[in-house]
A = this chain, B = another copy of it.
Amino acid sequence: MPGNSFGHTFRYTTWGESHGPEIGCVIDGVPPGIALTESDIQVWLDKRRPGQSRFTTQRKEPDTVQIVSGVFEGRTTGTPLAMTIENKDVRSKDYGGIEDKFRPGHADQSYWAKYGIRDYRGGGRSSARETAMRVAAGAVARKVLDHVLGPGIAIRGALVQMGPHEIDRARWDWDIVEDNPFWCPDAKAAKAWETYLDGIRKAGSSIGAVIEVVASGVPAGLGEPVYDKLDADLAKAMMSINAVKSVEIGAGLQAASLSGEENADEMRMDGDKIAFLSNKAGGILGGISSGQDVVVRFAVKPTSSILTPRKTVDRFGRDTEISTKGRHDPCVGIRAVPIGEAMMAIVLADHVLRHRGQCG
């Protein structure tokens, strides 16, 4: 298994470059008999689509998904489910020198070192364009979860920090997340971020962010120790998203500062169910879901595409400088929210099927 696939039983593979004819993915392992149409997938793609506010890249992509395999008369057949999206807005005239120059903080230098050849147009394979197919696969994964578990699972993401500015968790409100351009669950923070990010945008600069994804209604028992633990697979899934630099589960990094008394989530019976009195574990114990909310957080670095010229080198071994003109994403973390949700859905769908396979 080379590196363009993810998952074990719900397994998908993506292809396509930023400026190629299409991007696509094939999912192998979708259970048969699930009602599925393109609009079930399109709704999630529309959320991720760039250019919906002044705070995300102005690339204009309708991102219309087509199902080309695996569905018959509106239902999945159990055979490979393939989907494609045509690349439309491919401005190919001017690449601003990146044909030869390595943009700092981008994958130009490392791809060149690895392959000795590089499709530099729009970042080629290393472009976040690929994440559209993650969102499409995630939409199918949500259907699989509903199909196998019934409609109890909710997977929701939010931006909880922009640059140094964190939300106030006391004001967390899922209902407002879609009402602001940041997927921010704190109305007051969202307001403040607007001004803050406008300043960054106008300066041609960029800033990082932290995203939190929460899955509610996950049954206890998912995860395959000791290497395909649920948290290990989530860490891989989130770290594989472009620009992600950290992944945390539950208390995450804060767990380092806690005492054993503070960190362990106590339990009481609530009728015939176990009620945890806290959720420092983020819903995962020993790599297996406990029945609590599964909570993942990840940090996204600021894009390195900025107006200020930066020192770099080119592929001929010469010192030079580079700055980015044109499309510009002041906070790429914003667009990572639906992608993080999709990866959560994918990991859970895979583990639901794996668990069913081994444990019935």
Contacts and interface: CB of A to CB of B under 8 A. Distances in A.
A235 B16 CA distance: 25
A256 interface: yes
A150 interface: no
25 contacts: A1-B28, A2-B358, A5-B13, A15-B68, A15-B69, A29-B358, A31-B358, A31-B360, A32-B114, A109-B267, A110-B285, A111-B288, A114-B223, A114-B355, A126-B225, A161-B256, A205-B261, A208-B256, A232-B239, A255-B299, A264-B306, A267-B312, A272-B317, A274-B313, A356-B356
B80 A13 contact: yes
A105 B281 contact: yes
A306 B260 contact: yes
A272 B124 CA distance: 26
Interface string A251-284: 1111111111111111111001010010011101
Interface in A10-40: 11, 13-17, 20-24, 26, 28-33
A9 B2 contact: yes
A317 to B, nearest CB: 6
The 4 A-B pairs with the shortest beta carbon distances in the complex, nearest first, are A107-B286, A357-B357, A3-B224, A105-B264
Nearest to A238: B235
Main secondary structure of the interface of A (DSSP, over half): mixed
B259 A207 contact: yes
Interface in A226-264: 226-229, 231-240, 242, 244-264
A49 interface: no
Given A5-B11, A9-B354, A245-B256, 11 more contacts: A3-B28, A3-B228, A3-B229, A4-B79, A15-B70, A77-B118, A106-B285, A207-B257, A227-B236, A248-B253, A266-B312
A163 interface: yes
A125 B5 CA distance: 21
A14 to B, nearest CB: 7
Interface in A112-157: 113-119, 124-126, 130, 148
A90 interface: no
Contacts of A24: 24, 26, 68-69, 82
Given A119-B77, A125-B77, A260 B303 contact: yes
Nearest to A161: B256
A254 to B, nearest CB: 8
A266 to B, nearest CB: 4
B206 A259 contact: yes
Interface string A199-216: 010000111111000000
A251 B301 contact: yes
Interface in A147-205: 148, 161, 163-164, 200, 205
